[in-house]
């Protein structure tokens, strides 16, 4: 018997990515995107239930274990537990469900600038996030921070920037992550916003806002039609936008060696009342993230 899509914690999200550089020159782009929320405990059931979706095998749309965490195909749960320990957090924060928000592979090709790991404790309570960041030079780094607010409210975290990402920025400053977590209701929205700042102020804002679709064959097809060839578009878009920045006169920085430690410990931050997404008057503004 096939699982009903509504029985899955996993889901598809369709929405938009926005990316705005505020300094030293202003530059903006946005595009449609599909992402998957993959519950690690559901992977076998997902590929059995959804035609055209596969795990660790070629398929039109797929998930490859080696694209994430240790990057060698070994246990993602064990890696997440280790990252918590490396960040000085209780490994028990990953004893419950683990769900990854990321772009799927399309026709065997994959590149994902960021994977967000939603970790839960043994009672199923959200406990920590891992922001696994990658660059186009083959480096990756994990920013790990606890969650100190309920699942129906926004979360905010901060971490010092450790890994070089863009060749047009230095490696100083830090990231503020603001997340409206996934909710189980079909059609509900989630969002991720990253503000990059240094001593000179706000330099960059990147955001994703997505609407939940069921993890089903029909839901996947609709997501693909919304944003076809999503991973190909991502890698091509990165290089096209880099060329535009170079033509605007931004200096190219040579790529430093990646940090020796693969994890940076972050902190949970308070949410100002004006930023609280439980306030209906501000919810829509926060869901939109960055505007032109």
pLDDT at 137 over 90: no
Tell me whether residue 90 is exposed, middle or buried, using C-beta atoms within 10 angstroms of its C-beta: 0 to 12, 13 to 18, 19 or more.
middle
Q: Provide the pLDDT for residue 279.
A: 45
Work out the average pLDDT over 126-141.
Answer: 93
Q: Where are the domains positioned within the chain?
A: 5-288
Higher pLDDT, 44 or 229: 44
Residue 166 has a pLDDT of 78
Are the C-beta atoms of residues 242 and 168 closer than 8 Å to each other?
yes
Q: In angstroms, what CA-CA distances link 196 with 170, 174, 203?
A: 11, 6, 6
pLDDT band of 288, cuts 50, 70, 90: very low
pLDDT of 28: 86
pLDDT band at residue 205 under the 50/70/90 scheme:
very high
Residues in the chain: 292
Q: In this predicted structure, what is the pLDDT of residue 278?
A: 44
Across the range 127-141, mean pLDDT stands at 93
Residue 177 pLDDT class (50, 70, 90 cuts) = very high
Q: Which of the two residues, 31 and 99, has the higher pLDDT score? A: 99
At residue 241, the pLDDT reads: 63
Are 91 and 144 in contact by the 8 Å Cβ rule? The answer is: no
Q: Does the pLDDT at position 131 exceed 70?
A: yes
What is the model's pLDDT at position 232?
A: 60
Residue 150: what pLDDT? 87
Question: Residue 25: is its pLDDT beyond 50?
Answer: yes
34-48, 128-142, 275-289: lowest mean pLDDT where?
275-289
Average pLDDT for the chain: 86
Instruction: Enumerate residues 6+ apart whose C-beta is below 8 A from 228.
Output: none
């Amino acid at each position: 018997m096939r699982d009903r899509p509504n029985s899955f914690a996993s889901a598809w999200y369709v929405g938009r990515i926005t990316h705005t550089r505020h300094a030293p020159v202003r530059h903006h782009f946005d595009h449609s995107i599909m992402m998957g929320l993959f519950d690690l405990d559901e992977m076998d059931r997902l590929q059995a239930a959804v035609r055209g979706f596969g795990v660790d095998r070629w398929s039109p749309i797929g998930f490859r274990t080696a694209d994430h965490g240790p990057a060698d195909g070994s246990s993602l749960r064990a890696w997440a537990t280790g990252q918590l320990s490396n960040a000085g957090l209780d490994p028990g924060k990953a004893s419950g469900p683990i769900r990854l928000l990321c772009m799927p592979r399309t026709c065997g090709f994959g590149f994902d600038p960021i994977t967000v790991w939603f970790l839960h404790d043994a009672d199923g309570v959200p406990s920590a996030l891992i922001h696994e960041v990658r660059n186009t030079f083959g480096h990756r780094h994990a920013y790990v921070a606890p969650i100190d607010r309920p699942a129906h409210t926004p979360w905010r975290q901060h971490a010092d920037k450790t890994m070089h990402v863009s060749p047009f920025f230095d490696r100083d400053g830090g990231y503020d992550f603001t997340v409206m977590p996934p909710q189980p209701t079909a059609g509900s929205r989630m969002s991720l916003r990253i503000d990059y700042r240094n001593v000179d102020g706000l330099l960059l804002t990147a955001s994703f806002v997505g609407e939940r679709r069921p993890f089903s064959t029909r839901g996947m097809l609709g997501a693909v039609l919304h944003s076809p060839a999503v991973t190909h578009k991502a890698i091509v878009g990165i290089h096209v936008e880099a060329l535009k920045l170079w033509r605007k006169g931004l200096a190219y920085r040579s790529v430093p060696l990646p940090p020796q430690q693969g994890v940076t410990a972050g902190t949970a931050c308070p949410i100002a009342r004006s930023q609280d997404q439980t306030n209906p008057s501000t919810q829509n503004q926060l869901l939109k993230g960055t505007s032109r």
